[in-house]
Amino acid sequence: MFFDLAIAGVWILIVLTSSVWGWAALYMSLDLFEQFEPALYFSIASFTTVGYGDVVLDAPWRLLAGMTATHGLLTFGLFTAFLVEVFNFPTRARRL
């Protein structure tokens, strides 16, 4: 079971990291930030739905930040369900 959880954890970490970096790359490609670090910071804050408010997008692009937050909320929900399935996998195998 530990191996399954470790694989699931690494997979989740890779997907979350690539999602956050993907949003930051999108922000950079749209010239919303001049440097990558603030774009990555904003992406993390929005994706985790924390949204500190110290870095904000211009008014025409604020909906994009909401889309980032929605993506993060749905992703964390899906990964929670995924981890529940990983925890239930050993008991399901014993029932068969």
Distance CA 3, CA 95 (A): 20
Place 3 in a pLDDT band, splitting at 50, 70 and 90. Answer: confident
Query: Would you state the pLDDT for residue 95?
Result: 63
What pTM, to 2 d.p., does this model score?
A: 0.85
Residue 48 CA to residue 28 CA, distance in Å, equals 19
Rounded Cα–Cα distance for residues 28 and 10 (Å): 27
